[in-house]
Structures are given as structure tokens and as C-alpha cells.
């Protein structure tokens, strides 16, 4: 009963919104009295994560763009869609050959000062894990993406880095390039 009630409260909170939640990246510096606003009590919202990157948007990987790892014997995915949002959250949905869907959500941090850029994902659902890797987006809006779970990491996989490049994820049962994914902007 307690679990159901807690889930109900979480669902209601998601539907109705939080009146004390910050309203986004707005400069409140012209407000002289912030006490009557349902915003935060600071004059500046610069702490709100806002990602200004070509990565932000919706992406789809299917067919020949799927990595050998995702299309292969273990996952058997036929498509993976990903949405990276400006608030530094992401939603991913994978569909396998049987038509089953798998949803993943979380947050991400990127560093575009490297080439390729780096990304760290903190997955919240369906389980809490951390994944790390690299990505690049070309002029045709093709996203090349390679990440691997690093925490927990019971099999000792090694994430790719800008120095090692695409195709460098290593670990048991992986061949070079097995984990490189291509996505088309939607």
C-alpha cells in the first residue's frame, strides 16, 4: 500500500508540476523582490543546465546504422531512437526483433572541446548505471556514437576516448568497431 501511494504521489507530481520548481533559464536580475514569485529565490538562473549543442534533438539508428553489437546475437535490436534534450536529460527507446521495447532515461554531460566530443551518461531507468564514450556529428547530421557501461562494470569494458577514437571500445567478446552506432537526425 505504501509503495502504491508513493507511486501515486510521484505520478501526480509529474502531471501537475511543482510550483516551486525553477521555471527555466530566465534572468531574474531585473526583479527587485523575488519573494512573491514561485521561482527560486536567486536573481540568476545560470545554474540551470542548458545544453547548446548539435547533439540536442531526436536521432534514429536502424538497419545498417545499427552497431554489430546492438543488431547481433545478444540484443537483436532493429532500431534505437534517442532524444537528447537541452535540459541535459535523455530518453532512449530500443526495439528488438520480437517487437519488444526497452526504455532508458537519464542525464548526460558532454565535453565538446575534444574531437571527437566526450559524453558521460547517468542512466536513471530502468537501472542506475553510468556509461561513457565519444560522439561526432558531421555536416550531413549523421551522429557517430560509441558508449559503454562503465559503472558497474563487472566485465571490465574499456570506454573509447578521443585519443583512441571510434571502434576502440574493448572488452570480452568485442571486436574493434562492434560498438559504433550511427544515428540520423529526425
Cell of 32: 527587485
pLDDT score of 102:
98
pLDDT score of 46:
54
Contact 146, 179 (CB under 8 A): yes
Q: How many CA atoms lie within 13 A of 38 on its CB side?
A: 6
pLDDT score of 47:
60
Question: Which of 51, 35, 40, 41 minimizes the C-alpha distance to 18?
Answer: 40
Tell me which residues of the chain have a pLDDT lower than 70: 1-48
Specify the DSSP element, H or E, that contains 95: strand 89-96
Question: Which of 160, 144, 139, 133 minimizes the C-alpha distance to 65?
Answer: 144
d(CA 97, CA 74): 11
Contact 149, 157 (CB under 8 A): yes
SS3 65: helix
Chain-centre distance for alpha carbon 47: 19
pLDDT score of 186:
97
pTM of the model: 0.73
Of all residues in the chain, the percent with pLDDT exceeding 90 is 71
pLDDT score of 73:
86
Residue 126: is the preceding peptide bond cis (ω within 30°)? yes
pLDDT score of 141:
95
pLDDT score of 155:
93
pLDDT digits (tens, 9 = 90+) for 135-161: 999 999 999 999 999 999 999 999 999
Contact 123, 111 (CB under 8 A): no
pLDDT score of 48:
63
Q: Are strands 77-84 and 129-137 parallel, antiparallel or unpaired?
A: unpaired
SS3 144: strand
The residue assigned the cell 537541452 is: 86
pLDDT score of 175:
95
Amino acid at each position: 500500500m505504501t509503495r502504491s501511494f508513493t507511486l501515486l504521489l510521484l505520478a501526480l507530481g509529474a502531471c501537475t508540476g511543482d510550483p516551486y520548481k525553477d521555471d527555466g533559464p530566465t534572468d531574474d536580475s531585473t526583479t527587485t523582490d523575488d519573494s512573491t514569485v514561485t521561482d527560486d529565490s536567486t536573481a540568476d538562473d545560470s545554474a540551470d543546465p542548458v545544453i547548446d549543442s548539435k547533439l540536442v534533438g531526436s536521432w534514429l539508428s536502424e538497419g545498417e546504422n545499427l552497431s554489430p553489437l546492438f543488431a547481433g546475437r545478444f540484443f537483436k535490436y532493429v532500431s534505437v531512437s534517442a532524444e537528447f534534450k537541452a535540459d541535459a536529460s535523455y530518453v532512449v527507446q530500443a526495439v528488438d526483433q520480437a517487437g519488444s521495447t526497452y526504455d532508458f532515461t537519464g542525464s548526460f554531460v558532454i565535453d565538446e572541446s575534444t574531437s571527437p566530443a566526450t559524453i558521460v551518461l547517468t542512466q536513471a531507468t530502468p537501472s542506475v548505471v553510468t556509461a561513457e564514450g565519444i560522439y561526432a556529428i558531421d555536416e550531413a547530421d549523421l551522429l557517430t556514437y560509441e558508449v559503454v557501461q562503465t559503472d558497474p562494470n563487472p566485465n571490465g569494458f574499456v570506454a573509447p576516448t578521443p585519443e583512441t577514437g571510434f571502434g576502440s571500445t574493448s572488452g570480452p567478446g568485442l571486436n574493434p568497431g562492434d560498438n559504433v552506432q550511427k544515428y540520423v537526425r529526425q
